[in-house]
Amino acid sequence: MSTGPRTLSRGALAALVTAAAATLTAAPVAARTLDAPGSPGGGAGISPPPSSGNGGANSGGAPIGGLAPTQKPNRKPPAPPSKRDHGSWLRGVTITEYWPAPESWFVGRLVSAPGLSGTHRIDWLYSAMGVSMEGEGIGLDGRMYHIDALGNGGWITATGAITSPSDGWSSGPPYWRQGGYWRNRKGGVTFPLEQGGWSAGPGRKYVRLRGVTFAAGASQPLRFYESIAVDPSVIPLGSRVYIPAYKNDGYGGWFVAQDTGGAIAGNHIDVYRNPPASPNQSGRYLTAQRAYVIKPHR
């Protein structure tokens, strides 16, 4: 689905978002979820709803912020590991990727949010494909924002049923937080669209999400293609990790273990990267890889 500048009629936009909602309901479960307030979650290969394609401006006329560029190292990357590095190879590694959710990929109406000045798209704030699942995102202004407190409530499906990662999302894939949305005539999730109308029928009742707050800036000082999420029982936080599959990316294949995730367990590494060019792209998924781990000095 193209995300380039174009103009959609109100009816066509509503149909687009309704179709996106149906797609999300059947989408794969996110690979990572938030562990605690303020900790970035992330979803390897999870893409937010398609862009509304509103021509590059929000309702206030401000340009939509572009995706963050790949960070170029301002220093020469170190050489691959040698015998002098005193590390060890970890084999059979699965590698996925995650990124901050770009607000420009979303289609909801701009609303105020606790802890933030200005307004942001409601589905970017509260949906499972936005800041709520990823933990942080890139606003329309090109700045980073993140969840500061998760609030009181877990997850629901598009039909409004409670679902949880604790039982493998048995009620269905997460679609929205348990608040910050309207119920439609059938009790399902609906939200107002930036260009008018509703995503899944008119809203009948607004459901609040108490205790959630957002904040400006990144939740952690992570760097694209230099930071990774790991299972600390396998790769201690603070370790330097060399991944041969990324030797031509970022910092010459070298990373620092700085993050964790609810579904990052065992020999699984999640690479923090800039958002892909399209919400339809899922990032790299590699299996049976090697990683050289240099544990931090204690």
Position 72 scores a pLDDT of: 54
pLDDT class of 74 with cuts at 50, 70, 90: low
C-beta of residue 187 within 8 angstroms of C-beta of residue 159:
yes
Q: Looking at the domain assignment, is residue 252 inside a domain?
A: yes
d(CA 21, CA 42): 20
Give the number of residues written for the chain: 298
Q: Looking at the domain assignment, is residue 73 inside a domain?
A: no
d(CA 72, CA 68): 12
On whether both 138 and 252 belong to a single domain, the answer is no
Last residue of one domain, picked from the residues 165, 189, 216: 216
Of 92-96, 266-270, 277-281, the range with the lowest mean pLDDT is 277-281
Q: Which comes out higher in pLDDT, residue 155 or 81?
A: 155
Question: What does the block give as tokens for 197?
Answer: 């109308």
pLDDT of residue 67 exceeding 70: no
Give the residue among 159, 152, 193 at the shortest CA–CA distance from 176. Answer: 159
C-beta of residue 94 within 8 angstroms of C-beta of residue 267:
yes
Q: List residues bridging with 183 in a β-sheet.
A: 189, 205
Position 73 scores a pLDDT of: 52
Residue 173 amino acid letter: P
Q: Return the number of other C-beta atoms located less than 10 Å from residue 151's C-beta.
A: 21
Last residue of one domain, picked from the residues 216, 242, 258: 216
Of 12-16, 199-203, 235-239, the range with the lowest mean pLDDT is 12-16
Q: What percent of the chain has pLDDT over 70?
A: 75
Position 63 scores a pLDDT of: 28
Q: Looking at the domain assignment, is residue 4 inside a domain?
A: no
Once rounded to an integer, what is the mean pLDDT over residues 38-67? 31
Give the residue among 283, 198, 205, 242 at the shortest CA–CA distance from 79. Answer: 242
C-beta of residue 248 within 8 angstroms of C-beta of residue 16:
no
pLDDT class of 197 with cuts at 50, 70, 90: very high
HSE (side-chain half, CA atoms, 13 Å) at 74: 1
Model confidence pLDDT, tens digit, residues 142-194? 999 999 998 888 999 999 999 998 899 999 999 999 999 999 999 999 999 99
CA 129 to chain centre: 6
On whether both 42 and 189 belong to a single domain, the answer is yes
C-beta of residue 88 within 8 angstroms of C-beta of residue 100:
no
Once rounded to an integer, what is the mean pLDDT over residues 132-150? 94
pLDDT of residue 243 exceeding 90: yes
pLDDT class of 134 with cuts at 50, 70, 90: confident
d(CA 279, CA 51): 8
Of 41-45, 92-96, 214-218, 241-245, the range with the lowest mean pLDDT is 41-45
d(CA 262, CA 231): 9
On whether both 121 and 167 belong to a single domain, the answer is yes
On whether both 132 and 142 belong to a single domain, the answer is yes
Quote the mean pLDDT of the chain. Answer: 79
pLDDT class of 82 with cuts at 50, 70, 90: confident
pTM: 0.74
Residue 291 amino acid letter: A
Position 261 scores a pLDDT of: 86
Q: Which comes out higher in pLDDT, residue 199 or 46?
A: 199
Q: Which comes out higher in pLDDT, residue 50 or 289?
A: 289
Q: Looking at the domain assignment, is residue 2 inside a domain?
A: no
C-beta of residue 216 within 8 angstroms of C-beta of residue 116:
yes
On whether both 132 and 247 belong to a single domain, the answer is no
d(CA 298, CA 287): 31
Measure the CA dihedral 275/276/278/284, to 10°.
-130
Please give the tally of structural domains in the chain: 2
The whole domain housing 131 covers 10-62+100-216
